[in-house]
Amino acid sequence: MSDMKDARKKPRLVLLGSGFASITLLDHIDRKLFDITVVSLRNHFLFTPLLPSTTVGTIEFRSVIEPVRHNRPGVKFLLAEASSLDTRERRVICRERETRSEFSLSYDLLVISVGAVNNTFGTPGVEEHAFFLKEARDARKIRNRIISCLEQACLPETSGEERRRLLSIAVVGGGPTGVEFAAELNDLLDEDLKKAYPEISGQMKITLFEAGKEILGAFDSELSSYTRDHFRRQGIDVRLETPVAEVRARSLVLKNGEEIPAGLVVWSTGYSPTGFVARLKFERDRAGRLLLDEFLRIPDAPGVYAAGDCAQIGGKSLPQTAQVAMQQGKYLARAFVRQQKGKKVEPFKFVNLGMLAYIGENEALAEIPKAGVSARGVLTYMFWRSAYLTRLVSLKNKVLVLFDWSKALVFGRDLSKF
């Protein structure tokens, strides 16, 4: 693993993206040893595991974001996106999104950590009419749509049929994001709707559509079954083996031809490669992710590494989760420093710390294979909260999230639209 030019005292390290892998790398590397530049269309890091909580006001948006420039001296940040890569000249071509102006950056080390985009599977109408839940702006759009549906349903001229449509929420995809959003929304209905919207309390319906045979397929089957039963006890309709054929402005259409009226459709069915990754001429797996060697390098591309959701180690199947990206970022930070100091670098090894998911009514799931733990319930919910709290990147975020949780408990969720 020797990719840096000895002639340069400070190798030029370029990071593409500002997600878990990049931020973890920045926070663990000795920044004095490198000339570091971060290129991203997002000038902040987003703690995505708590994003579903922001859609209903349990947590505020700024509590889960951290500016890239904050407390990271010696790091240059450029608000732009990578458009192409010249591995022979070791330079990446970048583009500013608004003006479309281009510039190039030379590198000695390049880390591609641009994440992934929502996978629509070519389903008509998804891009135009459905809502994704991947960025803070997505959560804000969902939050405003929920409030709009509630307010419109309360108008005296709204017909009964239209009211039922407005208060019908469809969640497509039974993975962690879809499940946690449905759980957070149901908490809002149970805990705040009776006080804020007494005239429509009890009329909102949440339906979760999953094309597969089970929700939370990555979890133990017992936990998946428990979640399905728990949702049904809460009144959340779980429809398995029910693929969606089309999303329309006021409804969605199932593969069996059934049309379901809906005031909001949240699409959460997995990820596909970004345009930049799709254009690269490197070998990829079936999901379109860049294939890496055991040192997270892209073969036949000297100095080019990748991490996070956009990459996969050949011969392995690592999940597209925050813990994988964080471990890869930490590994690369240490590997680059050891490489710079002429020390041996060991291959990357992923340690599965387990999976967590919130399922509503102060209950959560936890599956930790290394410890042989498979748990659910209220105590697991407390563990879920404490685990996520400790993983927030800054003391400021920890304080803000704690305050938001306390505020929602005492005063209820804020249902203002702005």
Residues 283, 266 share a domain:
no
Residue 68 lies in a domain: no
Do residues 231 and 359 lie in contact, with contact meaning Cβ atoms separated by under 8 Å?
A: yes
pLDDT tens across the length of the chain (418 residues): 655 544 457 999 999 999 999 999 999 999 999 999 999 999 999 999 999 999 999 999 999 999 998 888 889 999 999 999 999 999 999 999 888 899 999 999 999 999 999 999 999 999 999 999 999 999 999 999 999 999 999 999 999 999 999 999 999 999 999 999 999 999 999 999 989 999 998 899 999 999 999 999 999 999 999 999 999 999 999 999 999 999 999 999 999 999 999 999 999 998 999 999 999 999 999 999 999 999 999 998 999 999 999 999 988 889 899 999 999 999 999 999 999 999 999 999 999 999 999 999 999 999 998 778 899 999 999 999 999 999 998 999 999 999 999 999 999 998 888 7
| Residue in the structure block whose two tokens are 């190039």 | 104
CATH number of the domain enclosing 171: 3.50.50.100
Tokens of 274: 């970004």
Residues 135, 263 share a domain:
yes
State how far the alpha carbon of 346 is from the alpha carbons of 64, 207, 209, 391, in Å. 33, 47, 43, 25
Residues 143, 265 share a domain:
yes
Q: Please tell me the total count of domains within the chain.
A: 2
Among 340, 366, 395, residue at a domain's last position: 340
Among 310, 340, 370, residue at a domain's last position: 340
SS3 string, 315-384, reads CCCCCCCHHHHHHHHHHHHHHHHHHHCCCCCCCCCCCCCCEEEEEECCEEEEEEHHHCEEEEEHHHHHHH
Residue 176 lies in a domain: yes
Residue 185 lies in a domain: yes
Residues 327, 380 share a domain:
no
